[in-house]
Structure 1
Amino acid sequence: RDLPRETQFVVKEINVKGLSDKDRREALKEVEVLKKLRHPNIISMHEAFIEGGNLNILMEYADAGDLAQLLHNARGRPFKEERVLDLFVQICLGMHHVHSQNILHRDLKTANILLTRQGIIKLADFGIARVMSSETDMAKTMIGTPYYLSPEICEDRPYNHKSDIWSLGCVLYELLTLRHAFEAKSLSALILKIIRGKFSPVSSSYSREVRSLVDSMLQNSPAARPSIASILTLSFLK
């Protein structure tokens, strides 16, 4: 096994014992998606094997936790804009590669964005990713973490890459404010808030450009949201 030296790995186990052929194919989907994705800001997969009723996936280990932990450890002290944008641009570079392969992440959230001690972002958990058969294909399954769900998923409308942009907007908002863009005490109330698209403004201590970017990513209409490629052309992110 030609594995990079001095690299740490983690084995993700997916129980496939007793699964139907269809469900087993779903379990294997993560492997196929990860195999396709080779990028410095995406967790790399090295091999997969079925043993003892488990599908075992050997993947790169990120040794500094995830963004959710980073936000928790901030204990209410906001990050400097420079720090936020460094993290955000890395996430965008990873997502640009994902979208360039016609793949949707579909579960982008702070807990699925990992970090190394060198400060490198690694996107992870493509367990519910979907390989799009074409640019215009619209996925129709309602999945994802409630706080980061796009309005179109909440309303059970077809969706595409722009749904990931909404989730990414929620992540950027969280990096700037240390709280979710949309919060409620019940799922139904949360969905209503998301569909209405009303959220508390980001502090004016951050630049007008970054606040406008959040607003553009959290537009109710998917067509009004920027693509990853267009976000990466913004001068203040370079």
Structure 2
Amino acid sequence: MKENLFSIIRGNKDIIISAGVDICDALEAMQEKEIVHRDLKSNNVLVTSKGRAKVIDFGMAKRKDYDLAPPGIVFGTPEYMSPEQARGDATDQNSDLFSFALTLFRGLTGSLAYCALSVRANYIPRASQWNLANIESAKNSLRQVGMPESFTDAWSLAVQPDPPARQREPLKKELEAILKKTKYSR
């Protein structure tokens, strides 16, 4: 039996951390194949009965440098969009990394990173204006659920406003270090 990540999100930090490692691996594989998912979110991650996470639904995916959509067209789920995606700018693997970090945030905190707004239509303007103050606020939410400072720092590298500044590897290393300390076996 498989469940989507959203259905098991609350109350099981160990599964979220383990799934995070698997999603980092999937992001790396997608980067090697030059695939941009463009709709990475909890509902597009399945967790198998063995506890392994699988990224699904590549219906909006594209090759890195091949996009038939005209500039300005927005693809994805607003609550998980990167700033460049929300503006209709070009997307790449850094956009997927940003979406993954927001998915991880939701799994760990139970909240959306753009939680101050309740109307879905307002998520896109909020996402397009993501900045360092948003990052600090989100880091505080992660601290409140017991995530260590080293993790919040690594997480913040994945959600930088400037796509080339985003880093996946520090976040993956932090997830792996936390996973080693849990009771959850893979």
Q: Does the TM-score normalized on the shorter chain lie above 0.5?
A: yes
* Distance in 2, Cα, partners of 1:167 & 1:93: 15
- State whether structure 2 residue 170 is matched by structure 1 residue 237: no
Pair 1:164–1:100, CA change in 2 (3 A): same
1:142, distance to aligned residue in structure 2 (A): 1.4
Query: Which of 84, 99, 104 lines up with 2:36 in the alignment?
Result: 104
Q: CA RMSD in A?
A: 2.4
**TM-score after normalising by structure 2:** 0.78
Deviates more, 1:207-216 or 1:163-172: 207-216
Q: Is the contact made by 1:177 and 1:203 (CA closer than 8 Å) also made in structure 2?
A: no
* Distance in 2, Cα, partners of 1:124 & 1:177: 23
In the other structure, the counterpart of 1:214 is: 155
1:211, distance to aligned residue in structure 2 (A): 1.1
In the other structure, the counterpart of 1:66 is: 4
Pair 1:230–1:210, CA change in 2 (3 A): closer
Higher strand fraction (1 or 2): 1
**TM-score after normalising by structure 1:** 0.62
* Distance in 1, Cα, partners of 2:50 & 2:15: 14
Higher helix fraction (1 or 2): 2
Gaps of 5+ in 2: 178-186
1:236, distance to aligned residue in structure 2 (A): 5.9
Higher-Rg member (1/2):
1
Query: Which of 159, 164, 176 lines up with 1:223 in the alignment?
Result: 164
Pair 1:218–1:235, CA change in 2 (3 A): closer
In the other structure, the counterpart of 2:181 is: none
1:223, distance to aligned residue in structure 2 (A): 1.4
Q: Is the contact made by 1:96 and 1:229 (CA closer than 8 Å) also made in structure 2?
A: no
- State whether structure 2 residue 56 is matched by structure 1 residue 124: yes
Residues 183-210 of structure 1: CA deviation (Å, up to 9, x unaligned): 3223443223223322442134211121
Q: Is the contact made by 1:209 and 1:236 (CA closer than 8 Å) also made in structure 2?
A: no
